[in-house]
Amino acid sequence: MFSQLLPLLVLATPLAAPSTHLRAQPDADATPIAETTTPVAIAPVIVMRDDADNGRIYRRHRLHIDTDAFAWRRVASWTDMDSESKRDSFNILGGAPAFGAGAGGPAGNVTFGYGYGVAKRLIVGARVGLGWQRLKDPNGEGHSSMVGYSVVPYLELVFRPGRNFRPYLGARVGLGGASATSSSDGDITTRVSTLGPTVGASVGFHAFVTERVSFDAALAFDYALAYGRSKVSGGPAESKSDFERISRLPNAALVVGISIWLGRDHTRMDRRDDDGV
């Protein structure tokens, strides 16, 4: 009876330790049985990144910050085309133009932005620019301060999908303004407020240093038209004016920044390497 059950017990335990010796049989007439284990081949699985994930913008949220690394600015009268009414300046880390606030513009300008990839080659978003400046008269007779701002929606057409280096063409249109205050001897205070439309275009690139971080650079040109009004208080010459056309403001700049790209990788997929199947 036991000799008839033994082959069944051996087949029922395929994971037993391999052995090549002969096990003694209780029945001398039975044929010796050798216990063996069949090796199992394991094919390696390699998780590969799909090329479409390189530099992907589609369905991703873009958070970015940038500034003008170098900029040329001009403040020119809206109506007077005489060259004497034009004031040029060159600035490092100067930011966007200050609307009607002087040739130098506010220092410390920085732009924050948000964009969303609505297609593999298209980003829609908006930028908010902020700038500030405070100057003191070297003779100690007064000081001035200024705050500039802009809200500019933008559109980017991004080329070379599936690559980590993605050049683009950009266009934007929005509003900007500034508020400047100056005082003289603490008696007379002059406040100037400006507001106006701005349009711009740029050519640049997003260089993805990681999957979610890119270094951005662009050559940009913006053109603004400023309306302004002023108010003088203190002293005998108090006055107030309504908004009127005051200046044209072209600006050309090298813009640099960093972007963070958020969002799930909908195009990622796991694939077996052909040599491992």
- pLDDT, tens digit, 9 for 90 and up, residues 128-177: 988 877 666 655 566 677 888 899 999 999 999 999 999 999 999 999 98
Whether the pTM exceeds 0.85: the reply is: no
pLDDT tens for 46-77 read 445 555 578 999 999 999 999 988 888 888 88
pLDDT in tens, 2-49: 444 444 333 444 444 444 444 445 555 555 555 555 655 555 544 455
pLDDT above 90 covers a percentage of the chain that reads 35
φ and ψ at residue 231, rounded to 5 degrees: -145, 130
28: left (phi over 0), alpha (psi -120 to 50) or beta: alpha
CATH match of 54-262 with 2.40.160.20: yes
Among 264, 266, 227, 269, smallest CA distance to 244 is for 227
Q: What is the rounded distance in angstroms from the CA atom of residue 251 to the CA atom of residue 61?
A: 28
- The residues that bridge with 203 in the sheet, in sequence order, are 169, 219
Q: Determine the 3-state secondary structure of 83 from DSSP.
A: helix
Mean pLDDT rounded to a whole number for the chain: 76
d(CA 63, CA 65): 7
Q: Is the pLDDT of residue 258 over 70?
A: yes
So what's the pLDDT on residue 112? Answer: 95
- pLDDT tier at 209, thresholds 50, 70, 90: very high
Domain ranges of the chain: 1-40, 54-262
